[in-house]
Structure 1
């Protein structure tokens, strides 16, 4: 028993010593950074119709990153973003144009990624390359809430589509995402990078736009919702006043129980411009443990 205790103590001491050496190696330079940015958003789904981009600046993100090895880093990020789509952008006489659906959604996401840099880290943050291209892959979750603007008694009103069960199957408010990013960081000053980043999110849902399967048919007999109800208007919008029959075959197919979406998962992308700031090597230590007192963002070389 004493031998086991002694061996356990020795092993534990060895692991502690190794971890201290590892963190000492990591702390000799600024391996931690935080960033924030904004940009443009787009979505790919049933209502894209050749117009994937959301109008104007449409997302904001914040994150933190730590360099683990010469080419590998890890980061976490939170973002809020807007996506939208409409069948009004579809080609005339097409099935989608006759379907006449639309949506907009203010969503948010979180993700964790591993980042692979194509060039090795220079050993000192202030000696880093002028540009650092990278590829990132991770896992995350998005929270979504598609809405639509529909006129009722001549007055436009916004409806949360999930609440009205527009299709035969219902859905929740979140889904897993597989985020993939390709970008480059440009050194602006000793402490600051400007990042340009294009990220695509493979979403494990086809309901980001509320359109995925078949028209709602609550009774299972092809009658759908009663005429004049909000559910009927939101599920099937081919009868709206400003919609004309441009494709009779498509018009006849748009009935309860029939195809409404393509049955495929959706996706979205974010084109980012980020400002990234390196944190001092002792930012997570107490003031007594720091090499010198002073502001976190001070003169070049203050913490070297």
Structure 2
């Protein structure tokens, strides 16, 4: 997982560095630079603790949810652009649907019985490197352009747990925000505003003079293990004061007998101990509108 992140990001940033020599800057004058605005329809999923298999590549397509975004892009050089974007999307996870109750390992996640959703708001700034250059203006841009990108993002997340049958007086079927509950008896609640490293690739298609369409997939490497509220070990139920804390921190579990004896005993593993951070992935279709550059005509005397 670390190699995927390290090599992919280094590759994109390396391309960006070699894409801006002085010769390009001279040949690609400001008259050929242009801006575009984009509107995206996205599909969002995530890699974390509430997935079918506890590894980086595991996700459940049935958990995919739709999101949207807007962006503005500035083309600086024949291959290099800068893009700023805002997006919204939702990730979900459900042990009852993701985990096999009869699997030798997954049965423990099924027994955990956790279900959540998380609405994520993201702001990102990335460098986009085209694999086919365009030294002309926007009117002569290529019809198909594959590209890669990498950058930095900040996001706000708000994980909420789904309430099932319970003895705590909670409304079944409702969602309760989890960050403030500190369900693992953390000393401090985890931060809901975090940084991420976005990177990925796509292909852009020229529709006509001013419109492009693109298909893109991007991974977000986060620095938190709590976008699904599951990251560490079970807390001592005696330290969980409110009904919501007791339910999501302990009572949501299906069984604590047989193979699952002492399942939620203090310091028992609640999340995947191998993966220390969560990821989310955004796949989107974007319609870009090129803002026609103003061409200044020379003045004759």
Determine if contact 2:28/2:136 at 8 Å carries over to the other structure.
Answer: no
- Partner SS for 1:33: strand
Partner Cα separation in structure 1 for residue 296 and residue 235 of structure 2: 64
Give the equivalent residue in structure 2 for 1:19: none
Deviations 1:217-276 (A, max 9, x none): 3xxxx74436x822110112445xxx356x733342322332111241000111100000
- Partner SS for 2:286: strand
Partner Cα separation in structure 2 for residue 79 and residue 38 of structure 1: 9
- 2:288 aligned to which of 258, 261, 276: 276
Q: How many residues align?
A: 255
Give the equivalent residue in structure 2 for 1:106: 119
5+ long unaligned stretches in structure 1: 1-21, 283-288, 292-304
Deviation for aligned residue 1:26 = 4.0
Partner Cα separation in structure 1 for residue 27 and residue 144 of structure 2: 27
Give the equivalent residue in structure 1 for 2:210: 191
Deviation for aligned residue 1:154 = 7.2
Determine if contact 1:215/1:260 at 8 Å carries over to the other structure.
Answer: yes
Give the equivalent residue in structure 1 for 2:101: 92
For residues 211 and 135 of structure 1, do their structure 2 counterparts lie closer, same or farther at Cα, with a shift above 3 Å needed? same
Measured on the aligned residues, the alpha-carbon RMSD in Å equals 2.4
For residues 90 and 251 of structure 1, do their structure 2 counterparts lie closer, same or farther at Cα, with a shift above 3 Å needed? farther
Partner Cα separation in structure 2 for residue 55 and residue 253 of structure 1: 26
Matched, 1:168 2:185: yes
Give the equivalent residue in structure 2 for 1:41: 44
5+ long unaligned stretches in structure 2: 1-24, 53-57
Determine if contact 1:85/1:104 at 8 Å carries over to the other structure.
Answer: yes
Determine if contact 2:234/2:266 at 8 Å carries over to the other structure.
Answer: yes
For residues 23 and 173 of structure 1, do their structure 2 counterparts lie closer, same or farther at Cα, with a shift above 3 Å needed? farther
Matched, 1:234 2:248: yes
Normalising by structure 1, what TM-score?
A: 0.77
Partner Cα separation in structure 1 for residue 65 and residue 49 of structure 2: 23
- 2:231 aligned to which of 212, 223, 228: 212
Determine if contact 2:80/2:127 at 8 Å carries over to the other structure.
Answer: yes
Deviation for aligned residue 1:117 = 0.7
Deviates more, 1:249-258 or 1:158-167: 249-258
Partner Cα separation in structure 1 for residue 45 and residue 63 of structure 2: 9
Deviations 1:196-236 (A, max 9, x none): 0001100110000000011223xxxx74436x822110112
Give the equivalent residue in structure 2 for 1:60: 68
Determine if contact 1:135/1:183 at 8 Å carries over to the other structure.
Answer: yes
Deviation for aligned residue 1:51 = 4.5
User: Which residues in structure 2 correspond to 1:1-304 (within 5 Å)?
Assistant: 26-29=29-32, 31-49=34-52, 51-53=59-61, 55=63, 58-88=66-96, 89-93=98-102, 94-151=107-164, 153=169, 155-156=171-172, 157-169=174-186, 170-217=189-236, 223-225=238-240, 229-239=243-253, 243=254, 248-263=258-273, 264-282=276-294
- Partner SS for 1:213: coil
Deviation for aligned residue 1:82 = 0.2
Deviations 1:75-100 (A, max 9, x none): 11110010000111201141101111
Deviations 1:115-154 (A, max 9, x none): 1111111412121111010000001111101001214547
Deviation for aligned residue 1:158 = 1.8
Normalising by structure 2, what TM-score?
A: 0.77
Deviation for aligned residue 1:55 = 4.9
Determine if contact 1:198/1:269 at 8 Å carries over to the other structure.
Answer: yes
- Partner SS for 1:216: coil
